[in-house]
Structure 1
Amino acid sequence: MQKIFILLLLPLFLQAQKSKDSFTPEEVRADMAFLKKRFEKIHPGMYYYMSKEEYNKKYDSLYNTINQPLSYLETFRVLSRLVTNVKDGHTNLRYDKKRFNKKNAKFVPFYLRKIDKNYYLALNYSADSTIIRGAEVLAFNDEPVEQLIQKLKVFVSSDNGNEHSKDYYTVSAFPTYYKRYFGEVDSIKISYRLPKNDSVFNKKVACQTNSEILKIDKKRYKNLSRPNLSLKIMDSVNHIAKLDITTFSMSGKFLDVSEQKFKRVLRARFKTIKQLKVEHLIVDFRANGGGFIPNVSRLLKYLSPKPFTLVDTVAFKKKAYFAIFKPYYFGPPVTMWLGFMKRDGEFMYRVNKRNDRHKPEKALAYRGKTYFITDPGCYSATTFTINLAKDLGIPEKIIGQQVGGATWGSFAVNWQDFKLPNTKYIVHTPLMKINHNLPNKVNKDFFVKPDYEVNRNREELLKNNTSVIDFTVEMIRQSKALRER
């Protein structure tokens, strides 16, 4: 009898599962209202970059266009606009994990790079190795690349709508955003031109899983990797070295919650820097999206000539208090109230009064000249580092491209992932506002801009080199030669 009952209910269950592929206007609108209300309650950056009046206009306009059922992906595009219009790079919308985050999910096997107004192949993870790095990409599935990129930008959140950052992530993470717009596909047609060849080639290639991509990467692009905290001598005669910091996260095994591995490896690198008597240290931050904030101070202790403090103020909305300090945590919900006694409207906050909390390293302090290399992929803990270092007068020059994160600080530290009731999308939301400690106030731009702008070019794609490193090394050589005359 029980088996018969289950069989009778099975069609209804399958129909319910199938209905999740689309949503009624009422369901979409309900999720829009839920999302906006939750942002207003807990998001510390709601209406910080976009005024309430402007956001409401965009919200109402979008709300009024929902008058027929939308597919799963169409709904995702609509709700993504409400998220990206907060204009915070730490805030994003994600698929329901059960649907699209499968281990065997397939991705478009191409990574791009925009140079001037054209798009070129930076990495090819398809089985067809004849589509070479440096090929000019014209279209995917007969849709011009530029038109396609503009579509995908709807998913990219950036601080204050930073267009450099939006371009950077849309292009560099093309497979991810393509999947968010079109869903998972088995194959894709690419139209391209090879270097020094006017002929247009069209090929249809299979999409790849992450494991397949990693296997090809190890074989095809092993020379392009930049291991985190790797140190390389660029010019032994002029004592020039380069330290790659591709992330501010590096934890060891056995519950390394405080990331002691980063601390150990970093110390080993500066020990080598001292032994080699490096006079000019290039710190390459490109594509570093951030990481563990205590690692910021760990790096700056080797570079700063004087004591410093990381944070000026930390704030959060009063209504987010128990989202940060969970009621079931014994102690913090009570004690942390005393740590944030100051009030400013709907915010609770605290101020760091000391400006010398972190002391410079003594034995391995680096006192040579330092140069930072940046791009729009520099964000979060990385822009934290760059802004503090610039205020402390550490980098001799900053070379490359404008960074992705704001100078003043960011919305970060603590997070909440909440699920929308109907669509089940996951919304990733920061809960705290953190202001950098910048007592010298030398950072006048909203986003740190380089002293020398050096953009990437097609030649480096063809030769597997890097123009910004070459520029920096040559700049150091010339400045040293000029001083020695």
Structure 2
Amino acid sequence: MLIVSASVPAQNFYPPLPKMAVADLKEDIRILKKVLEANHPSLYWYTSKDSIDYYFETTIANITDSLNEVEYKNRLSKLIATIRCGHTTVRFSKAYGKIANRYRFPQFPLALKAWDDSLVVLGSAYNNDSIFKRGTIVTAINGRSPVEILDTLYQYISTDGYITNHKSQVISGNFPGWYKTIWGDGDSIYVIQYLDSLGQEREASIKAYRPIKDTIKKQIRDTTPTLTRREIRKLRLLNKRSMLIDTLHSTAFIRLTTFSGGRLKTFFRRSFKTLNRLSIANLVIDLRENGGGNVNNSIDLTRYLINKPFKVGDSIVAFSRRMQYSRYIKPSFIYWLAMNFGGKKMKDGKIHYRRYEQHQYKPATKHHYDGKLYLIQGGYTFSAATMFISHLQGQSNVKVLGEESGGGYYGNSAMHIPKITLPNSGLIVSLPLYRLVIDKSRLKGRGIMPDITIKPSSQAIREGYDIKLREVRRMIDSSR
């Protein structure tokens, strides 16, 4: 059996995380249930009240001993995931956030890409790793198959309805962290089954990764160039939005990672002015990293591209704007004001966001884009980004490519999202206040299904090319 390792001295050890008393942990869950019952608009949208009550009661009953914050967060995350709301998630306390890096290592040493029933190596923490190269297919870790691993991790991740692709993307973003959080760091060596270059199943062991604290800091100092404030601001903007134009192929590529910040209204106006001036025939918008953001920015971009009037949704409702448990909700007063001045109580007894329900947004008359439009989506495509794509899918000049979106096609719970801070543990739970139904005629519980499905592949990962962008380029070339 081969063993992959490196000569890595041990990191400084810290004392174990403190335990919290059983009574305090149970009280936090009871408080959380009361807050959700009072203000969550979709607590029983996918899961019946009887089932939600059962999950809360069972979680409380199963706490028979004190727990540290990681252990408790796992219990709470698994509980909250049963609501099936992607905007209702559990975060560590602010206090833990300040010390989290102390407990980051040792950890599983491989970054893995997850999808369907597959795990593929993206990289190894060991520079001398000649076995687990990028693109290697993993068939088991410590006797657990990819299906077993993913099915277990999925239980701790919130998502809209029954969309697992979002969960896969979240896991891919930090597989070592997820593995450590759920299975702990008791394994000093991991036994991994994998497929070699000939497709034969092999087995090798790899040591848990534990770097030197001082080495990490030194590497950061040595590799981080000195930048001016202006350069830093520019990089931050580029990280949120950018556009590249290939005039030879009359194609523009926009990468948009958020609908918040980034001076997006100005960016959109200048970008579409340029596209029209250059008569660009093809526009590719990459939304695979876009988790949503400001609805108004999503509307603004839609207006440059859509060919008919549209509204945000069929219904945007809250069941109450009274915040009975405001002492746990932050910032409660700001959201109370927003709901009282922006919402209207209707005959059905619900609070309606009437402007978004009624207002018909018209296509932009200036700099409107009418060329071929390719929208790339994936599991991270969420919330306002899902809303944006859903308004455009089906238009004659639009093709949606990639994987199922992470956000719900039918709708979601969002708009205003304050935070619940639990008094004893300090854990933070996000609380959406409005339920958005984009189109009541759509299928409920799934994301946007692409017109052209393009899954990840081990070959693309191994050879280092973007399989989705490659397919878009092929489509554009073949249409010329």
- Equivalent residue for 2:46, pick from 46, 49, 52: 49
On the 8 A contact 1:372/1:395 being kept in 2, the answer is: no
Deviations along 1:221-250, one digit per CA (max 9) or x if unpaired, are xxxxx954333446834x333322222233
CA–CA distance in 1 between the matches of 2:222 and 2:91?
27
Give the secondary-structure state (helix, strand or coil) at the position aligned to 2:418.
strand
Q: Which residue is 2:419 aligned to?
A: 417
Q: Which residue is 1:336 aligned to?
A: 340
- In structure 2, relative to structure 1, the CA distance for the partners of 1:461 and 1:399 (3 Å cut) is same
Q: Which has the higher contact order (CA 8 A, sep 6+)?
A: 2
The AA in structure 1 aligned to 2:404 is: Q
CA–CA distance in 1 between the matches of 2:220 and 2:89?
26
CA–CA distance in 1 between the matches of 2:116 and 2:330?
47
Q: Which residue is 1:462 aligned to?
A: 462
Question: Which aligned pairs between 1:417-456 and structure 2 lie closer than 5 A?
Answer: 417-436=419-438, 438=439, 446-456=446-456
TM-score (norm 1): 0.77
CA–CA distance in 2 between the matches of 1:277 and 1:205?
54
Question: Which aligned pairs between 1:278-317 and structure 2 lie closer than 5 A?
Answer: 278-317=280-319
1:247 aligns with 2:258: yes
- In structure 2, relative to structure 1, the CA distance for the partners of 1:37 and 1:339 (3 Å cut) is closer
- In structure 2, relative to structure 1, the CA distance for the partners of 1:364 and 1:176 (3 Å cut) is farther
Unmatched runs of 5 consecutive residues or more in structure 1:
1-16, 220-225, 252-260
- In structure 2, relative to structure 1, the CA distance for the partners of 1:217 and 1:77 (3 Å cut) is farther
Question: Which aligned pairs between 1:31-42 and structure 2 lie closer than 5 A?
Answer: 31-42=28-39
**Superposition deviation, residue 403 in structure 1:** 1.0
TM-score (norm 2): 0.78
Unmatched runs of 5 consecutive residues or more in structure 2:
1-14, 226-237
Deviations along 1:154-198, one digit per CA (max 9) or x if unpaired, are 320001132222233223332443354356899874736475165
1:152 aligns with 2:178: no
The AA in structure 1 aligned to 2:348 is: D
Q: Which residue is 1:23 aligned to?
A: 21
Give the secondary-structure state (helix, strand or coil) at the position aligned to 2:179.
helix
Question: Which aligned pairs between 1:105-124 and structure 2 lie closer than 5 A?
Answer: 105=102, 106=104, 108=107, 110-114=110-114, 117-124=117-124
Q: Which residue is 1:13 aligned to?
A: none
Moved more, 60-69 or 184-193: 184-193
**Superposition deviation, residue 338 in structure 1:** 8.0
Give the secondary-structure state (helix, strand or coil) at the position aligned to 1:277.
coil
CA–CA distance in 1 between the matches of 2:56 and 2:91?
20
CA–CA distance in 2 between the matches of 1:52 and 1:335?
25
On the 8 A contact 2:117/2:146 being kept in 1, the answer is: no
On the 8 A contact 1:34/1:420 being kept in 2, the answer is: yes
- In structure 2, relative to structure 1, the CA distance for the partners of 1:400 and 1:326 (3 Å cut) is closer
On the 8 A contact 1:132/1:194 being kept in 2, the answer is: no
- Equivalent residue for 1:91, pick from 64, 88, 93: 88
Aligned length: 442
Question: Which aligned pairs between 1:183-202 and structure 2 lie closer than 5 A?
Answer: 189=190, 191=192, 193=194, 196=197, 198=200, 199-202=202-205
1:60 aligns with 2:60: no
Give the secondary-structure state (helix, strand or coil) at the position aligned to 1:300.
helix
CA–CA distance in 2 between the matches of 1:470 and 1:335?
45
CA–CA distance in 2 between the matches of 1:86 and 1:200?
39
CA RMSD of aligned residues (A): 3.9
On the 8 A contact 1:125/1:216 being kept in 2, the answer is: no
1:387 aligns with 2:390: yes
On the 8 A contact 2:163/2:446 being kept in 1, the answer is: no
